[in-house]
A = this chain, B = another copy of it.
Amino acid sequence: MNRLQDAYKETPFQVNGHGPRKIQVLKEAFENLDGQLESEMYGKGKLIEDFQEKMASVLGKEAAVFFPSGTMAQQITMRIWCDEKGLKKVAYHPLCHLEVHEEDGLKELHQIESVLLADKTRVIEFEDVTGMKEEVACVLLELPQREIGGLLPDYQTLEAISAYCKEKGIMLHLDGARLFEILPYYEKNAAEICSFFDSVYISFYKGIGGIAGAVLAGDNDFIEKSKVWKRRHGGDLISLYPYYLSADYYFEKRIGKMKQYYEEAKELAGFYNQCYGVSTKPEVPVSNMFHVHFDAPKEVMELILTEICKDADVGLSSYVREVTETISYFEVSIGDLYEKLPHEKLTDAFKLLDARMRANSDKT
């Protein structure tokens, strides 16, 4: 635990997310549920089947299945499409979750190679897909591309990539960990976006704010195969209800707030961009998230942010990451906490940030 993290936790107002991940999140979700409801058994039972059907319908797919994690759901998706094509190669962004956060599970467990599209500064464009030199079984798009601040391709690009993949017999998969968060920008519903894709994964602990868990959706045959792989991976637990019942509770609680989070993200990015030596990526957010870059080293920013927690009562971030020796950043993700922030506190916080950034620049 470092000083900034402590100060962020103790300050009265935090800017990001829905609040700390306390076990009250579970208790709240179960408070009004009847204790006599019966657990599913290894994926079979009314509670889980109802939830899966609901999600299939939301995503406009024939079927859906609940997974303990997106890591498991997406590796399995890649495996199924690769087996179907008889080709152990898939294409995705260099900052794709499978490439950077999964200890190479795709390679170690499934012997699937990755072809990297685009580069670390931008999203995958139509030309990246059509210009692929290698044949692949599947292309994975992450909407929004989280690790570069949550960027999105144009809607027309999605349409074009989807049509191209269909024509070439390449499966198209959506990493929709933050799918609901981008719908206000595209002004589309989830099923409309998902119609471009053969398979879709969504997460319940980002904007939805559940405890953990994911849903994978696609046609019946694909989903049936994914259940076999789910068992192989050790994901076919006797009871997953602590996750999907919470997921359902928070889905209902927050699905109608995605537009609000998006508008608030744009407002907050505006505040950051008015400060000296501070800029957001993207400049105008396309979802509830963005990254904030500082022309100052991580250590300096930690001191400044700690001071803002203490003097302005506002926690802007609990951490800072290094980009280079003189540039640092953090990620912002808007949830329920933002609307509780008094406007004058936020104004004070940004005045202080601007002043401290100027003072730091004078020093160096």
Q: Which of A71-106 contact B (CB under 8 A)?
A: 71-73, 75, 102-105
Q: Which of A14-58 contact B (CB under 8 A)?
A: 20-28, 30, 33-39, 41
* Interface residues on chain A, number (Cβ under 8 Å): 53
Number of copies: 2
Is B33 a contact partner of A241 (Cβ separation < 8 A)? no
Is A37 a contact partner of B22 (Cβ separation < 8 A)? yes
A110 interfacial by beta-carbon distance below 8 Å: yes
A68 interfacial by beta-carbon distance below 8 Å: yes
Q: Collect the chain B residues with CB atoms within 8 Å of residue A237's CB.
A: 68-69, 212-213
Chain B nearest CB: distance from A102 CB in Å? 6
Q: Collect the chain B residues with CB atoms within 8 Å of residue A309's CB.
A: none
A234 interfacial by beta-carbon distance below 8 Å: yes
Q: Collect the chain B residues with CB atoms within 8 Å of residue A28's CB.
A: 35
Q: Collect the chain B residues with CB atoms within 8 Å of residue A102's CB.
A: 231-232, 234
Point out the residue from B26, B36, B212 that lies within 8 Å of A22, measured CB to CB.
B36
Is B21 a contact partner of A36 (Cβ separation < 8 A)? no
A281 to B108, CA, bound (A): 42
A228 interfacial by beta-carbon distance below 8 Å: yes
16 residue pairs of the A-B complex, CB under 8 angstroms, read A20-B38, A21-B239, A22-B35, A23-B245, A68-B237, A69-B237, A72-B233, A75-B234, A102-B234, A103-B228, A105-B231, A105-B233, A211-B239, A213-B237, A233-B234, A235-B235
